[in-house]
Chains A and B, each alone.
Chain A
Amino acid sequence: MTASIQDPAPVIQLEGVEKIYETGETKVHALRGVDLTIRRGEFVAIMGASGSGKSTLMNILGCLDTPTGGRYLLDGARVDGLSRNALADLRNQKLGFVFQGFNLLARTTALQNVELPLLYDRTRKPRDPKVLAKAALERVGLGDRLDHHPSQLSGGQQQRVAIARALVSEPTLLLADEPTGNLDSRTAIEVMALFQALNQQGISLVLVTHELDIAQYATRVIDVRDGRIRRDAPVLVPRNAAEDLVMIDAEGPDSLLDDPMAGAANDSRPEAFS
């Protein structure tokens, strides 16, 4: 991609990023030289089969893992080679995570779950975690569920709590790893509608998914295969999740699914760990 002068500042810049796992004698090339630039305000979907390296890419983007080669700039600053503590601080300040399994703390209220990143904030900004957490929950439409425990919430609601937790520290980038994988199709689209709304408010998003129709809600889709980016193209006309929801409510859930398998209802609501 050629950057023009009008393009917003890059949030993520990867230059020849490699990741090699060494397990004993064998070396596994999870990433074989990835170049990628994601700019502020983008909504990027990363697609790929399992084993393609998309999870590794996601972990590196999320500062949970470090590349074995190449350069990674997050918000203009080098990330490769940083210490564990520096990475933890980056995750706290610049990144928000949304996971497939929600990963909320059990037996802990929604409000306390959302407060969690603020408790590890070392910048000592003068602010009240409770107020911020409440605001974040209201932003995802859960202002009336502050004192509910995860077990008292539906899967969609739990994922909203997780999104509120990711938003509460006003990160530079929101990373979502299969966020709809444990949700039924309607709830999945609800979550995508929320992501689209947040993106409209200017939040940069990276979404990892293996469902093509979910990826169609993003503004740009990247295909990863064998540790390399195989395709990187903008979505010319992204689907609008809010409109899709209206259509589902009018015509029934099967009305807009291109692939009947992709939206297979999954009502299971796995308990968060105890």
Chain B
Amino acid sequence: MRQVTLLTIALQSIVKNKMRTMLTMLGIVIGVGAVIVMVAIGNGAQTQIQAQINSLGTNLLVVTAGAAQGAVSLGAGTFNRLTVADAEAIKREATTLAAVSPVIVTRTQVIGGVGNWRTEVDGVTTDYPSIRDWTATSGSWFNEADIEAKRAVAVLGSTVARNLFPDQDPVGARIQLGHTPFTVLGVLATKGQTSGGGDQDDVILVPYTTAQARLSGFAFVGQILASTSSTADLAAGKIEITDILRDSHRLTNGPDDFTIRDQTQIAATASSTTAVMTALLAAMASVSLVVGGIGIMNIMLVSVTERTREIGIRMAVGARGSDVLTQFLVESVVMSVLGGLVGLAVGVGGALLLGHLTGWATATPASAVFLAVGFSGAVGVFFGFYPARKAAALNPIQALRYE
């Protein structure tokens, strides 16, 4: 009964001063709205990056040459220690790995279709599509026989296909990589950008044996990709690869001369970056929430002064200081929570609109909803307390005499 009464008193007062209440609430609306939009943008970016990392393939292990950061530096120009033999050893000996493929990286001028194009040509095995979870949309992948025979066959990334064969299906067409003519077997599905902004589709994949035998230039094993059949095997897979590579590199003691990263590590690095960005955006937006809170405090102070006589009357008929305190506190909290709810709607709507207009991925996490409402309530209590206490401490005689 009493709680209901206090709420009623507070609501009456809020309704009696519509314009002022609305302007005061606007501060909180903007504050909460801004926080939600910012968190939605940050969160959306994180989701997008996560999706890009997943597009690398599932349960992926990436082996690169050179020691991990923090270990002894071998200096620039260290001889590349990953070889096709390493990949073959891993493929042969590892039991936990479902698929293994070296990636022999070259850059070549490709001529064919409507013109020429400079792109990356990667020599890989038939395991590669399963590791990268990457299928051909038209045509097919090369097979073991193509690898055995070192056939000059290629699968085009969608960017290359679009640039060289804008109006036709390139399957069956002939292209020239460097000086060697290749036959196009298939075109890959579009993967999109990497988290670093590179185009994953600007690539041509050929059998690694062909790359070794027929492509001149700086052909080297850039990385060895492997995948396990389940995420649980990632750790075991890592240990196996380490053992095999240390053995084949004849490392008895001393640090590894290679680095194995798994997808979760890559994801963690990326998401820690975006988490910092999200926190930064939210912190900046929080400033407006604080400013909104100060607006509430300002209005409540004005309100207390303006309603000094009302406070005196209430005290004369038996309101305790705590009753007056509660009344004003409820008023500021109701105002800020209402502002928070409206701000929530504005923020969610704003995030959707922004996503629609700019094409950015935005995602409002459910936690932001509770945070916004809870935080605006806290703002109401924090900034409403001082004015409310001032009201409660009034002397009833002076309050009644106040003009």
Contacts and interface: CB of A to CB of B under 8 A. Distances in A.
B319 A88 contact: yes
A87 to B, nearest CB: 9
Contacts of B2: 119
Contacts of B322: 85
B395 to A, nearest CB: 8
Nearest to A92: B318
A84 B400 contact: no
Contacts of A84: 320-321
B317 A91 contact: yes
A238 B295 CA distance: 58
Contact of A65 (B16, B306, B397): B397
A89 B317 contact: no
A116 interface: yes
Contacts of A116: 313-314, 317
B315 interface: yes
Given A59-B397, A64-B397, A120 B16 contact: no
Interface string B290-306: 00000000000000001
B313 A105 contact: yes
Given A103-B313, A103-B400, A117 B306 contact: no
Contacts of B253: none
Residue picked from B307, B315, B316, most chain A C-beta under 10 Å: B316
Interface in A87-121: 88-89, 91-93, 97, 99, 103-105, 107-108, 116-117, 119-121
Contact of B318 (A91, A104, A107, A274): A91
A117 B318 contact: yes
A103 B309 contact: yes
A62 B396 CA distance: 11
A165 interface: yes
B36 to A, nearest CB: 35
Interface in B9-47: 9, 12, 16
Interface string A229-272: 00000000000000000000000000000000000000000001
Given A65-B397, A107-B16, A119-B5, A165 B317 contact: yes
Contacts of B146: none
Nearest to B13: A107
Contacts of A121: 318
B323 interface: yes
Given A107-B16, A273-B307, A89 B318 contact: yes
A39 to B, nearest CB: 24
Given A107-B16, A273-B309, A273-B310, A120 B319 contact: yes
Interface in A40-74: 59, 62, 64-65
B316 A91 contact: yes
Contact of A120 (B312, B318, B402): B318
Interface size class of A (residues with CB under 8 A): 20 to 34
Contacts of A272: 309
A215 B297 CA distance: 47
A84 B315 CA distance: 10
Nearest to A175: B316
Nearest to A270: B403
B400 A89 contact: no
A85 B320 contact: yes
B323 A120 contact: yes
Contacts of A65: 397
A78 B402 CA distance: 30
Contacts of B16: 107
B401 to A, nearest CB: 10
A64 B312 CA distance: 10
A108 B313 CA distance: 13
A123 to B, nearest CB: 11
A59 B12 CA distance: 30
Nearest to B12: A108
A92 B396 contact: no
B314 A120 contact: yes
A85 B314 CA distance: 13
Nearest to A93: B318
Interface of A: 59, 62, 64-65, 84-85, 88-89, 91-93, 97, 99, 103-105, 107-108, 116-117, 119-121, 165, 169, 272-274
21 contacts: A62-B316, A64-B396, A64-B400, A85-B320, A88-B320, A89-B318, A91-B315, A92-B318, A92-B319, A93-B318, A103-B313, A105-B313, A108-B12, A116-B313, A116-B317, A117-B318, A119-B2, A119-B9, A120-B319, A169-B318, A273-B402
The 5 nearest A-B residue pairs measured at CB:
A92-B318, A273-B309, A117-B317, A120-B318, A88-B320
Given A88-B321, A103-B400, A120-B318, 18 more contacts: A64-B397, A64-B400, A85-B320, A89-B318, A89-B320, A91-B316, A91-B318, A97-B316, A103-B316, A104-B313, A105-B310, A108-B12, A116-B313, A117-B317, A120-B317, A120-B320, A165-B317, A272-B309
